[in-house]
Amino acid sequence: MIIPDETDPCWIKAISGEDSPKYELLATKIILGRLNLIYEMDPSPETAQKCVSELRSFFIWNKDLPKAQTDLEKILGKAVNH
């Protein structure tokens, strides 16, 4: 699976909580919960960039985990949100 670069709007939707499907991997739920709080407290472009970078790195590191792949598909909008 190709992981989009940091400029893809799907990342901002994920960290802002605008799009919050039911994620399967506990680690995804934890990191997004933390990043949602950080972004909510400071929605500046600098904070957004740091959060997006961290989330993207998380998926790069976990790209071989089937549940991480499913969660990334949900973030990308390629899977039906449950």
- The domain segmentation of the chain, as residue ranges, is 9-18+25-76
Q: Indicate whether this model's pTM tops 0.85.
A: yes
Cα dihedral: 12, 17, 22, 26 (round 10): 80
Residue 18 is predicted with a pLDDT of 87
Q: Are 6 and 53 in contact (CB under 8 A)?
A: yes
Residue 12 is predicted with a pLDDT of 96
Q: Are 82 and 73 in contact (CB under 8 A)?
A: no
Q: What is the DSSP letter of 5?
A: P
Q: Which residues of 45-63 are buried (b: 16+ CB within 10 A; e: fewer)?
A: eebbebbbeebbebbeebe
Q: What tens digit of pLDDT does each residue of 21-53 get? A: 999 999 999 999 999 999 999 999 999 999 999
Using CA atoms, how far apart are residues 38 and 80, in angstroms rounded to an integer?
27
